[in-house]
Amino acid sequence: KESDILFYLNAMNRGAVFTQNEIELFLKQMKIDLKDHYFLPCNNRIIIRRLISEMIKSYKEENKFEKAGILEQLLTAFD
């Protein structure tokens, strides 16, 4: 239930903690339409996929393509 959610964690930003109001303000500043599903909890599988995807992106930016490839293979296990 949405009213049970006290705060949100941004796993991509060192676990930063946000309230719904802070997220709404940020989205408005970015001119992004608010959607109810933005505020629903994610399951562990989705969070792990996102973290692995971010690691892949970072490795590619550092030209560490072998490590990125290993993680890309791992990512297929979550499909």
Name the β-bridge partners of 8.
18
Domain ranges across the chain:
1-41, 43-79
Give 42-45 contacts, CB < 8 A, sequence gap 24+. 45/78
Query: Are the beta carbons of 49 and 75 closer than 8 angstroms?
Result: yes
pLDDT at 2: 52
Distance of CA 55 to the CA centre of its chain: 12
Distance CA 38, CA 34 (A): 7
Read off the pLDDT of residues 28-61 as tens digits, 9 standing for 90 and up: 999 999 998 888 888 889 889 999 999 999 999 9
CB atoms within 10 A of CB 56: 20
pTM over 0.85: no
State yes or no: pLDDT of 17 exceeds 90. yes
**Residue 1: per-residue pLDDT:** 46
Across the chain, mean pLDDT equals 90
